[in-house]
Structure 1
C-alpha cells in the first residue's frame, strides 16, 4: 500500500509540484493559525517567553470575549448592517455580473470587448484607501464634484458625510463599481466554454439572441452561479473592512448605517487592546459562515446534486 502511494507520487510529481505553492500557502496561513483560535477563550496577555507561552499562560475566561459582540447596545445594528449589505451585494452582484458577462460575450468586435473588459476590471486593483479618496473628491462638502453640480443647477450643497440616508446607496454603488468587473470574469470564462454548436443549432431553429441566452447560456451557467452564490453565503457575516471604514472616512455620525462587525471589532480593539475579543469575533464569523455553507449546500443537493459544492 505504501509502495503504491509512493509510485503515485512519483507518477504525478509534476502536478503535485504545481499544487505545492498553493498547498503551502493554505498550510501556513489558514490551517496552522487555527491553533491560535484558543485565544478567543482566553484573556490574552503578551509574555516575553514567546507567542505560544503567552497563549497557554493567559487566563481562561470561557465565553467572556464573545459577550462583547452580543451584550453591547450596538449588537443589533452591526449584525443588521453586515447581513443586509452582504445580501444586497450578493444579489445585485450576481445579477449584474451575469448580465455584464453576457453582454461582453455578445460583442462582435473582440478587440473592443477586451478594452471594455480591461476598463471594468481595473477598479478591482485599486486599494480601498484610493477608492476612499476618489469618493471624497465627489462627496466633499466644499469642493466635491456632486456639490458643484448641485450648485450649478441652483440646489443647496449636501454635507454627504453627515447625512445617513444617502450612504446605503453610496456604499452599494461603490462596491459594485469596484467588484463587478472582477466578478464577471468567472461567468465570462464559463460562457466562452459553452459549445458554439448549441448556438448554431438554435439559430437554425430560428431562435433570437434573447432566446439563446434564456435557453442555452443561463441554464449552462446555473452550476457556476450556484457555486459562486454558496461561497458568497459563507462570507455573509464578513464585511469588507476597507469599504465600510475608508469610504465613509470613519465618520461617527454615519455609524448607524456604516458600522459592521469588522469595523466595530477594529474600533473595540483600538480602544481596549483586547486581542481575545477580536479573535472571538473572527471565530464567530467563521463558524456561522461554515454552518450557512453546509446548510445552503444541503438545500441545493435536494434540488440538483450537480450544482452543489460537495
Structure 2
C-alpha cells in the first residue's frame, strides 16, 4: 500500500490550521502596528495613563522602606537594610490580636451587610417607575460624597452627652443619658450602620445598572408563563446578577486586611475608652506614626496589607473559578 503524505490542514481541509506561535520580534511588530492604527484613542487615554503611573506605580519604589532603617540624611536607597525587623512592630505589639481581629471582623461585616442590603435596594428600585426612581437614586447616592470628617460631626450631633439627639430622646422617655464615646458595646452596631449608610448608595447603583442590562425578553417570557414578581427576582434577576456580585465580593476581599481609617478614626472621635471595639490596623499605625515618627514600621504594615489583599483576591478567585468559571474575575 502506498504511503500517503499527511494532508495540510487549512481553510479548505475542514479543520482549522494550527498557526505557529509568533516570534518575539513579530509580536512587537504587531503591537506597534496596532498602536499606530489606534493612535487617536491612545492619545486620548494618555493623560489617564500618565496620572495612573505617577499616582499608583511610581510611589511603589517606596516599598523598600518596609525592609530598611530609613534615615533622612542617607535617603531611601542609602539607608541600612534590616530585613523583616520592621514587621515586628505589628505582630509583637501588645494590642496586635485586638486590632487584627477588629479589622477582619468589621470588614467581613461591611462586605456581607453591604452586599445584601444593596441587592435588596437594587431589586426594589427596579420595581419603581417614573420620577420616583431619580429621587431615590439621588437620596441613596448623596451620603457617598460626604467626607468622613463631616460624618464625624454628624455622629457627634447624635452622640454628644449633653446635647446629642440620642440622649435627648432618651430623656423624653425618662431614661438616663449615656456616654456613647466612653462605651465599647454600642460601636459594634454603630460602625456597621454608618458604613452601610455611607456606602450603600454606590453599591446599589452598581447592581441596579446590572439589572437594567438584563434583556426584557426574559421577563416577558416569564410573565407569559404566569410567574410572579418574586419568582422573576429569584429565578431571573439574581442568577443573572451572580457574576457581578461575585466580582464585587472578590474585590471587596482585597481590602479585608485594610481598615476604613476615616470611619474608625473620626466617628468614634479617637477616644481611648472605645478602642477595644473601634481600633483597627490603620488607626493603630496612624497613632504610632504620629507619636513615634516610625516611617519604617508604617511602611511595613502597609506592604503587609497589600500582600495579604493580593493573596486573598487570588485565592478567592481561584476558588470561584473551580466552582463556576464564568463568575471568576480572571
Kindly state the Cα deviation for residue 25 of structure 1 after the two structures are TM-superposed.
2.6
CA shift for structure 1 position 9: 1.1
**For the residues of structure 2 that align with 1:210 and 1:13, how far apart are their CA atoms?**
49
| Correspondence 1:124-143 to 2 at 5 A | 124-143=144-163
Match of 1:123 among 143, 148, 153: 143
The residue matched to 1:106 in structure 2 has which SS?
Answer: coil
Larger Rg: 2
1:184 and 2:204 aligned: yes
Q: Which residue of 2 aligns with 1:50?
A: none
Paired position in structure 2 for 1:80: 101
Deviation of 1:13 (Å)? 2.3
What do you get for the CA RMSD once the two structures are aligned?
A: 1.1
Give the structure-2-normalised TM-score: 0.90
Match of 2:38 in 1: 12
Q: CA deviation at 1:151?
A: 0.0
Cα distance, 1:57 vs structure 2: 1.6
Q: How does 1:1-310 map to 2 (within 5 A)?
A: 1=26, 2-47=28-73, 54-109=75-130, 111-310=131-330
Listed one character per residue, the Cα deviations across residues 255-288 of structure 1 (whole Å, up to 9, x for unaligned) are 1111100000000101110111111000000001
Structure with more helix by fraction: 1
CA drift at 1:219: 0.4
Q: Deviations over 1:50-106 (max 9, x none)?
A: xxx601121222111110100011000000000000000000000001111111111
> Where does structure 1 lack aligned partners over 5 or more consecutive residues?
48-52
Farther-moved stretch of structure 1 (53-62 vs 36-45): 53-62
Alpha carbons 1:44, 1:274 under 8 Å: kept:
no
- Compute the displacement of 1:14 (Å): 3.4
Cα distance in 2 for partners of 1:18, 1:297 equals 32
The Cα shift of 1:211 comes to: 0.2
> C-alpha distance in 2, partners of 1:215/1:60?
58
Give the SS at the match of 1:165. coil
The separation in 2 between residues aligned to 1:105 and 1:160, in whole angstroms, is 38
- Contact map agreement 1:269 1:275 (CA 8 A) in 2: yes
Unmatched 5+ stretches in structure 2 = 1-25
Distance in 2 (CA, whole Å) between partners of 1:57 and 1:200 is: 69
> Distance in 2 between the 1:59 and 1:25 partners?
32
CA distance in 2: counterparts of 1:209 and 1:108, whole angstroms:
15
What is the CA-CA distance between 1:33 and the residue it aligns to?
A: 1.5
- d(CA) in 1 for partners of 2:199, 2:39: 37
Cα displacement string for residues 136-168 of structure 1 (whole angstroms, at most 9, x for unaligned residues): 000000000010000011111111001111001
Tell me the distance in 2 between the aligned counterparts of 1:208 and 1:276: 60
Query: When the two structures are superposed, what TM-score results if normalisation uses the length of structure 1?
Result: 0.96
